[in-house]
Structure 1
């Protein structure tokens, strides 16, 4: 299996929790795996666990408890800091269990001089490094820095939990790091643990399973939203995304829904370019929408000169909502797409679309099954596994990120493929696809295509689920827009 980043692993952990798996279960499985590895190496030993105040420390506490069941091991634990400052509930609970586990020595050390004076470093057979987690960057602080020095200067066999403390698990950068004889990492190989020369710090790397739910990785979950760009405290207007919606003509509600969804999803500025005959009606939906009227009563090639400047001044273009399928409109879509650096192509803009588009821009397509069958020029099978293969192959061949909407959404960029199960039967009402296009546009303005598309379908479906609880079969697309922020705020 391919390696993953530390942020992806955190998303998977959070998705496990979203699915109903208690984080204590994963910590228990990780700690038990460390204990098993020690037992497989030696039947008796003096083992010192050096633990930080995060989840790596929690894994160490579990491993120490498991190992203490065997009378042939002399188990000792150092917590770097006071137990009242342990950062996670799971680690606190596992630390509290140590006093009932027959462990010979449990020390809480906050002062670096006390670490230097600790005599236990000299005669340990194994030291388990649970000092710092995988998300730590830069130079370690005290007392962690001194702990790393003492671990490295010992003559013990060193086992690091998940990654050597101080080692950047994503890109291998090091200011100061534990130099381990073995690193036990969980679930999947991490990107920085396979880099040339990394064995100086990692030693031998062993990947161990810890019972992660398969769907936590394949299906989009709340944990995936954690990787999205957040609005920064020092941000200026426009830093969180400028979205242009091109639509309307045949229908005026669709571009307004897409625009409002983009705003609710965090975009700073949303401009809607629509034919002049519907511009005032679209503007009446909200004063937050900037409306630019276009010549004529439908999208036509004569609009290109006006649109080019708008496209250049926005981060992403959402094209399709309410356009209609007049031949001149479809010809204009073909002329617009090569001008876009990023675009979300939806609804009528998918009709008759020629792929691949001759452009260096990035595209996200959001077809339902009928629209996708038309793009493929073949009928779709009902099997999810077969559909996954078709979507992945299509995305790879055409050079586009594709969202196939359905009871289970399929998202692929030709390499990675994700599924989404949020949403409900009430969302067959008109306008929900326009809402999804707007959410996708807002996220795509500041995130990569696969992240934006995957998280957008999750947010759209989850907001729809919240709205359905309240409105039932009377659900409207505007009800989904009203619940977008509820979904996002649950994560952030």
Structure 2
């Protein structure tokens, strides 16, 4: 089991991105169920096994079992489906859709099990038992009738037990214990990639078969709703002020006051609880006037300089993420200030003019840089003739400097220090208006509170682009950065619910 294991949330995100691309869950369920049927047929045909019992739950794992039942019955096997519940209990559209042909089939026997007293002796009569009860969403302990069904499957001593996606009872959530009862399968056929904890439960997983269910490669290499789902989880019910992120935006100068305000507001709109702006005193009052949601700290001078550091370092230490650059300017005294601020930070986003001043700085482990192509050339000293060359330059710089780069353009390119890459195609030419880059940097900083730099950058690029599209749809091409800003919370909400709202 050397292949990378993924969590249930990561698999959900892959499914969401697949649906966004055009491969909906219904197609993947059909492919999964057919793969189960094909595996069972390969195992059974030379052994003259004819009786197949499928124990199905009321979710998508059960739906996979329904598809397998249909295919196996069509191939002449005696199929009996035991549903843990009733058809009206089915919880997903795909499971309901695939129950329909079973409900009218005269060749497939159906039994409904509503409580543990209905676990029947027929469980001992099957040549093949297929466990399609519960999938990756299960958390211990098992409730009834699932607990009794799992115990029954394990006591049945069938010649072949096949688990669909994951043996029922095995939690695939990181950190969860391996807690009995768990189906002891001879073969587990999992879909797309192995799941977390499978390598720790080989006695239950048995032989692991990984089946292709049609997930397009782009579900991994392009941003989509799944990236938002992963990066923007629901807040804990007992969360308190500050727990969801304190962002420090360091920027502004005598000429530029709007950029740091825009970035800080974007951070709040993206989930941060508190955004503090550190800016020169001549513009601090102007920045504060943009919104009562901002906390602004003013420092002596028309530009931020090393003389400010003693007072800014405590702000850095009390913040989860530092965003430096929006409106900071290119004054000579600011260069040393930028480098020392970056080096004093644990998690930092570097944007705008700071990208031109940060050469030679020692980047912390969790760093995101957000250049466009020209800024990348200034940062690296390497010219690029086209987008692909720029991507290659970004990849090399990310590796050698242990940073994540979000290269902005008509197609955004995101690369991690290890070479993991994604592209983002959301957005619109209307977003060439000033301030949208500050918004993107603010979204990245908010999402970095609870995510890796790469995951935060991917989701932020997608969210900001979708917000720009929404602003254009409402107002036409002539929009402002504030128009984009307004749509960020709505985009996050809608993209997290992508499958739930019916785009399956």
Q: Provide TM-score, normalisation by structure 2.
A: 0.93
- Is it true that 1:223 corresponds to 2:226 in the alignment? yes
Question: Secondary structure of 1:184's match?
Answer: strand
Structural mapping, 1:346-365, within 5 Å: 346-355=351-360, 357=362, 359=364, 361-365=365-369
- Equivalence for 2:398: 395
Q: How far apart in 1 are the matches of 2:202 and 2:291?
A: 58
What are structure 2's unaligned runs of at least 5 residues?
A: 498-504
CA change 1:32–1:446 in 2 (3 A) is: same
- Equivalence for 1:472: 476
What CA deviation, in whole Å up to 9, does each residue of 1:414-457 have, x standing for no partner? Answer: 23211111111111111110000111111112222122111111
What CA deviation, in whole Å up to 9, does each residue of 1:363-382 have, x standing for no partner? Answer: 11111111112222212253
Q: How far apart in 1 are the matches of 2:363 and 2:40?
A: 57
Shift of 1:93: 1.5
Shift of 1:289: 0.6
Q: How far apart in 1 are the matches of 2:4 and 2:43?
A: 27
Shift of 1:356: 6.0
Q: How far apart in 1 are the matches of 2:30 and 2:390?
A: 37
- Is it true that 1:254 corresponds to 2:259 in the alignment? yes
- Is it true that 1:46 corresponds to 2:48 in the alignment? no
- Is it true that 1:147 corresponds to 2:149 in the alignment? yes
- Is it true that 1:309 corresponds to 2:311 in the alignment? no
Partner residue of 1:69 out of 74, 84, 93:
74
Shift of 1:41: 1.6
- Equivalence for 2:332: 327
Q: How far apart in 2 are the matches of 1:40 and 1:356?
A: 60
**Partners of 1:69 and 1:101 within 8 A in 2:** no
Partner residue of 1:37 out of 25, 39, 45:
39
Shift of 1:232: 2.0
CA change 1:358–1:382 in 2 (3 A) is: closer
- Is it true that 1:78 corresponds to 2:82 in the alignment? yes
What are structure 1's unaligned runs of at least 5 residues?
A: none
- Equivalence for 2:460: 456
**Partners of 1:183 and 1:205 within 8 A in 2:** yes
Q: How far apart in 2 are the matches of 1:42 and 1:390?
A: 54
Q: How far apart in 2 are the matches of 1:105 and 1:7?
A: 34
How many residues of Structure 1 are paired with residues of Structure 2 in the alignment? 485
Q: How far apart in 1 are the matches of 2:44 and 2:391?
A: 46
> Which one is further off, 7-16 or 162-171?
162-171
Question: Secondary structure of 1:284's match?
Answer: helix
Partner residue of 2:409 out of 382, 386, 406:
406
Partner residue of 1:110 out of 114, 137, 146:
114
Q: How far apart in 2 are the matches of 1:381 and 1:111?
A: 68
Question: Secondary structure of 1:334's match?
Answer: helix
- Equivalence for 2:20: 18
- Is it true that 1:122 corresponds to 2:124 in the alignment? yes
- Is it true that 1:367 corresponds to 2:371 in the alignment? yes
- Equivalence for 1:60: 65
Shift of 1:473: 2.1
Partner residue of 1:268 out of 270, 273, 276:
273
Q: How far apart in 1 are the matches of 2:238 and 2:351?
A: 33
Q: How far apart in 1 are the matches of 2:403 and 2:436?
A: 22
Partner residue of 2:10 out of 2, 8, 11:
8
CA change 1:321–1:55 in 2 (3 A) is: same
What CA deviation, in whole Å up to 9, does each residue of 1:16-63 have, x standing for no partner? Answer: 122233321111111011111111122352111101111100000011
Q: How far apart in 1 are the matches of 2:105 and 2:375?
A: 61
Q: How far apart in 2 are the matches of 1:152 and 1:330?
A: 68
- Is it true that 1:337 corresponds to 2:337 in the alignment? no
The root-mean-square deviation of aligned C-alpha atoms, in Å, is 1.6
